[in-house]
Amino acid sequence: MRCCCILVTVIALVLLFWSLKPGFLYAWNNTANNAGNDTVLQLSKAENMALERHPSLEQLRASIKSSRKKEVYTGQWEDPKFSAGLSNAPVDTFDPEQEPMTQVKLGVEQEIPFPGKLSLKQKLQDKKTQVYRWQLQDLKARLLKEVRLAWLERLYQKRALQVVSNNLELFDELISVAETQYAVGDGLQQDVLLARLERDRLLDERMRLQNARQRSNSRLAELTKQMDVKGFNIPEDLPRFELPSSLAAVSKSLTEHPLIKVQAQKVGQKQAGVDLAEKDYYPDFGVQISYGHRRYKDPSGEQAADFVSGSVKIDLPVFTENRQDKRVASALEDKRASRKKMDTVLLELKQRARSNWWDLQKLKNRITLFEGTIVPESRQTVRANMAAYTNGRLDFLDVVRARIRHFNSKLKLCRLRIDAVKSRVNLVYLAKGGNSK
């Protein structure tokens, strides 16, 4: 019986050593995980769904159409005013034929703005339209960024769950080894309990990742307007995003970012407001023409002649101190504030670019360290500890600790790889000026 138990232990250890081959723990292209899901959500498909279905895009497109129509009627004169009335009617009889000056009057009045005012109003509205257009461009870019970040987070959870599942199998084997060693008197009960405890912690980590995966599914469904959030399956390959070669090139491209274009159009809008306020120093006009029909007949029976009247009205902007002057001053302050806002936005974009750029460089260095040193050494440590434990030169606790360190290093490498691509996604949003698809 003792020989049988030792044989079982040796076979379990051989299987455990075999499972530590790099290909087992680095199995990124696990096609078996794709078999149970209905929907394979490619990143390009998720991006297209977001750009086609998100209601915020339609809202901005409608605002653009509305603003374009406003440009047309903003540049038109006000509608003429028609008037009709009775003039010089005798109050004793109200007979239109009693007095020679009694008239039935019809008139038309037209307001005429000073030349250049309407074109400035159209220019002002055109700037508003351009603001909407660049906001639409930025919204598309932000949607792409958010979809990519959510998709990458979902990919991390998939890969992390693979690592957890692999380690659960290994801990099951460790438990089997510890139980066998304990059964033949070469191990301790606390070794069995310790292995079970660590396995339960892995089960807890798996549940946490599964909950996070469900949240990522919901986020992707929200962005893509996809009703089914349960069937998302993410392909294994990490997407690649091309970036400028240096931080200086990224910073230079920020002047073409849609957010900067939005602020530039707002500055132009404020300048048009200044020009329009200065036009208020010049008078508007009004023209009025009326026709008076008389029904009076002289003693000889002749019909009295009708009258035609005309007049011109001119505004007199003479009290400018508290009207025109203040309006121009206010418009100039608005323009100055808009310029400062553009400078502030540019500084914020540059700060975000620097932060993401240096984060990416640090992540690259850490990935190189984990891939070249930490993960291989932790794997070798597990193998060495298992060999020492088999020969009775090491405690089971050290074997478990080595296994946990190797698991954590694998999980950390998953996180670093995904975070590096996320930093690239953020830089693409900043550097490509919204033209990231």
Q: Measured at the alpha carbon of residue 272, what is the angle toward residues 266 and 273, in degrees to the nearest 5?
A: 90
Q: Taking a C-beta distance cutoff of 8 angstroms, is the pair 28, 159 a contact?
A: yes
Each as own residue / partner, the long-range contacts of residues 249-252 (CB below 8 Å, 24 or more positions apart, any chain) are: 249/431, 250/353, 250/357, 250/427, 250/430, 250/431, 251/350, 251/353, 251/354
Predicted TM-score (pTM) above 0.75:
yes
> Contact 382/20 with Cβ under 8 angstroms?
yes
pLDDT of residue 30: 38
Per-residue confidence in pLDDT tens, the chain, 437 aa: 444 444 444 444 444 444 444 433 333 333 334 334 456 788 888 889 889 888 899 999 999 999 999 988 888 888 999 999 988 888 888 888 888 888 999 999 999 999 999 999 999 999 999 999 999 999 999 999 999 999 999 999 999 999 988 888 877 777 777 777 667 766 677 777 877 888 888 889 899 999 998 888 888 888 888 766 566 788 888 888 888 889 999 999 999 999 999 999 999 999 999 999 999 999 999 999 999 998 888 878 888 889 999 999 998 888 888 889 999 999 999 999 999 999 999 999 999 999 999 999 999 999 999 999 999 999 999 888 888 877 777 777 787 888 888 888 999 999 999 999 999 999 999 987 655 55
Q: What is the pLDDT of residue 304?
A: 87
Contact 331, 277 (CB under 8 A): yes
Question: Which amino acid, 28?
Answer: W
pLDDT at 435: 59
pLDDT at residue 25, rounded to an integer: 34
